[in-house]
Amino acid sequence: MARDEELIGESPEEGQISISRDVIATIAGLAAVDVAGVAPPRGGTMPRGEAVRRLVEVELSEGRVRLALKVGVLYGHAVQEVAQALQTRVKAEVEKMTALPVDEVNVEVVRVVFPEEGRRKGRSS
């Protein structure tokens, strides 16, 4: 089994099931972008689809998951509330979809996105 996968089930008759870090990161990233007030960490637009996994670092150890996310927060949203909602949502989705226990969801808020930033990016030159 590759180091970037976690074995989650094995039975002699049916084989084994493993989940890669990329799958876990994608699940966590998709959950993260649905949280109100979350913005991309480096400008531009929020990634969609499998690209959301770039927001997430995954550590797998002995069947347990630790996650770290870097995000921005939209101005006007309470940073603490957004971060806590993010932790709750990501933990619940990863556990529900993988059956792996999530020990930690660490959130690093790296910037505040102001409303005028979105308006500037939407204008034509």
Question: Residue 76 maps to which CATH number?
Answer: 3.30.70.1350
Instruction: Give Dmax (Cα) for the chain.
Output: 63
| Beta strand ranges found along the chain (DSSP E) | 5-11, 15-20, 38-39, 56-61, 64-74, 102-113
pLDDT digits (tens, 9 = 90+) for 31-75: 999 999 999 998 888 888 889 999 999 999 988 999 999 999 999
83: containing domain: 5-122
pTM of the model: 0.82
Those residues whose C-beta lies under 8 Å from the C-beta of residue 72, and which sit 6 or more positions away, are 38, 39, 40, 41, 109, 110, 111, 112, 113
* Angle at the Cα of 37 from the Cα atoms of 87 and 84, rounded to 5 degrees: 20
How confident is the model over 80-101, as a mean pLDDT?
Answer: 97
15 or 19, greater pLDDT = 19
Q: How many domains does the chain have?
A: 1
Nearest of 42, 41, 44 to residue 108 by alpha carbon: 41
